[in-house]
A = this chain, B = another copy of it.
Amino acid sequence: MKKRERHRLLQDLIQEKVVEKQEDFVKLLEDKGIEITQATISRDIKELHLVKTPLDSGGYRYSMPPDVHFDTTKKLGRLLSDAYISMDTMDYFLVMKTSPGNAQAVGALMDNSAFDGVIGSICGDDTMLLICRNPEMAQLMKEKLLSLI
């Protein structure tokens, strides 16, 4: 049993069953003849970004991850629709040109967005410099941002 397969199995399980805790995963996999411990489930959950969601009924259920900043992302999209001019990446960096006076606002939203590939931003009046975790993230951010416009 490969990790990938197990991940896939966990994704399926949370759709079908109310899985309240990690030990439940252990038991459910055991039923399928798969021996695994809670420690591994914990790691799987982390990698899959699963979340333990409190239910109205009072219990808990592991479920698909939320889009951390649903609202922020929407705001960012609206702002970029207005303010975006151009963008380029180099190494760890992404430089965005905005209409005058808007770079700070974009940077502020970026800092609290779900885009955790971003380490930080430095903004002038019409230019934002994003520092990303790695060059790949810089490229990914460019695509993400473009998809919002």
Contacts and interface: CB of A to CB of B under 8 A. Distances in A.
A31 interface: no
A113 to B, nearest CB: 7
Given A53-B66, A56-B116, 8 more contacts: A51-B54, A67-B111, A67-B114, A73-B112, A74-B112, A107-B147, A120-B144, A122-B143
Contact of A55 (B57, B71, B73, B116): B116
B146 A122 contact: yes
A121 B147 contact: yes
A52 B54 contact: no
Interface in A54-107: 54-57, 61, 63-74, 77, 107
